[in-house]
Amino acid sequence: MTRTEHIQALLEDYARQRATDELDQDRRLGEACAKAPRIGALRQESAALALNAMRSILDESTPEQRAAIARDMKARGQAINAEIRALLKAAGLPEDHLDMRYRCPVCRDTGYVGEAPARFCDCFEARLRLRQYEDGSMAGVDEQNFDKFDPSVIPEADGQRANTVAVKKLCEEYADAFPKNRLRNLLLCGEGGLGKTFLLNCIFERVTSRGFSAVRITAFRMFEAIRQQHFNSGEKFEGFSALIEAPMLLIDDLGTEPMMRNITVEYLFTLLNERAAAKRHTVVATNLTPTQLKERYGERVASRLLDRTATAAVQFKGKDLRQR
C-alpha cells in the first residue's frame, strides 16, 4: 500500500472508532434515561438549542438582539447541563457519565489536531508509521496524483486538452499553496467523464502527502453523515462534525446525493456556512452548472458555492474520456 492508501485506511479506521465511541455513549445514555427519564428530554432540548438560536439570530437585525439571543442560549445550556449532572448524581451515576470516551482524548478520534491548518495527531502518525513499516511501503506513489496526469489521453479537438491542462495547473497550484491560498475554495464543474474526480483526488493526495489533514468524501457519503446527524435523536454525530472541522474537505459528485425535504439543503448550507465562517478550505466537484446548482439547492447554498470572494470556479469542457 502507498502512503496515501495507508492514510485513507487509517481515516476509515478512525471513523469506525468514532462510531464505536457513539454507540458506547448511546448505551450509557440509555442506562441514564432508564434511571432518570427526564435526562432524555433535556439532552434533546440541548441538541436543538443551538439550531433554534441560530434561526432566531437570522431573524434579528441588530447586533444587540443577536448578542442577547446568544447569551440566553448559553445560560439555558448551562442550566440544562447542571440539571443533567444533578439527575445523574441522584441516580448514582458519575457526573461525566454521558461524556464521550475517546481512544485518544487529544484528537478525539479524528486523527488530527490544532487550528487550521491542522496536522495529524501523534497517535495517527505513530499508527501510520507502524502500518508503513509492516507493509514495507514507506515510499509509495498513489495512482491518482499529479505525476500520473497524461494529457495525451485528452482529445485536442475544441480545445479540450488545453482546457484540461490549464485546469490541472490551477489544481496543482491550489494544492501546493494550501493553506495560504488566495481563494480558499475550489469548484470543479463539468459533465461526467472529464477528469473532475481524478483532479480532486490529485489535490487530496498532494495535500495529505505534504502532511496536512484533509477529508475526501462522495456526495452520497456526505448525505449519509447528514442523515445520521438528523436522525440521531438529537445527539451530536461525530461524522458530520468531522466534515465541518476538516481543514480541507473535498466533496465529489455533488448533486448525486438524495434530496430529503428540509434535510439535505438545510444541512448542506450549515456545512458550507460553518466552514466559510471558520475560513476552512472546501473543494467541490459536480456535474451541475451554476444555474443547476441554484435550482437544486436554492440561493443560500449556491451563494456559498459560487462566492467569488472565496471560490475559484473552473469549467471542464469536452467529450467523456471514458467513452473513447
In a domain, 55, yes or no: no
Q: What is the pLDDT, as a whole number, of residue 324? A: 60
Percent of the residues in the chain that have a pLDDT greater than 70, as a whole number: 90
pLDDT over threshold 50, residue 323: yes
Per-residue pLDDT averaged across 84-97, rounded?
Answer: 90
CA distance 74 to 171: 42
Q: What is the pLDDT, as a whole number, of residue 235? A: 52
**Model confidence pTM above 0.85:** no
Specify whether the CB–CB gap between 178 and 207 falls below 8 A: yes
What range does the domain containing 250 cover?
A: 146-323
CA distance 186 to 171: 8
Q: What is the pLDDT, as a whole number, of residue 131? A: 59
In a domain, 20, yes or no: no
Q: What is the pLDDT, as a whole number, of residue 237? A: 54
Average pLDDT over the chain reads 84
User: Reduced to 3 DSSP states, what percent helix, strand and coil does the chain have, rounded to the nearest 5?
Assistant: 60, 10, 30
Per-residue pLDDT averaged across 155-170, rounded?
Answer: 88
pLDDT over threshold 80, residue 44: yes
Q: What is the pLDDT, as a whole number, of residue 74? A: 86
Strands 281-286 and 248-254: parallel
CA R_g for the chain: 22
Per-residue pLDDT averaged across 115-142, rounded?
Answer: 61
Residue 97 has φ and ψ, to the nearest 5°, of -60, -30
Q: What is the pLDDT, as a whole number, of residue 238? A: 57
In a domain, 296, yes or no: yes
Q: What is the pLDDT, as a whole number, of residue 281? A: 95
In a domain, 298, yes or no: yes
Provide CB contacts within 8 A for 314, sequence distance 6+: 167, 170, 186, 187, 188, 189
- 60 or 21, which is more confident? 21
Q: Assign 286 to helix, strand or coil.
A: strand
pLDDT confidence tier of residue 278, bands split at 50, 70 and 90: very high
Specify whether the CB–CB gap between 286 and 186 falls below 8 A: no
pLDDT confidence tier of residue 137, bands split at 50, 70 and 90: very low
CA distance 62 to 60: 6
The structural domain count of the chain equals 1
pLDDT over threshold 90, residue 271: yes
Cell of 281: 478550505
In a domain, 221, yes or no: yes
pLDDT tens profile 52-79: 877 887 777 788 888 888 888 888 888 9
Q: Which range has the worst mean pLDDT, 3-17, 63-77, 119-133, 173-187?
A: 119-133
Q: What is the pLDDT, as a whole number, of residue 71? A: 86
pLDDT confidence tier of residue 140, bands split at 50, 70 and 90: very low
In a domain, 260, yes or no: yes
In a domain, 117, yes or no: no
Strand intervals (E) in 118-226:
119-120, 185-189, 215-218
In a domain, 91, yes or no: no
Listed ranges 8-17, 129-138, 144-153, 275-284; the one with the highest mean pLDDT: 275-284
pLDDT over threshold 70, residue 173: yes
The CATH number of whichever domain residue 212 belongs to comes to 3.40.50.300
Residues facing residue 284 across a β-bridge: 187, 251
Q: What is the pLDDT, as a whole number, of residue 34? A: 92
Percent of the residues in the chain that have a pLDDT greater than 90, as a whole number: 30
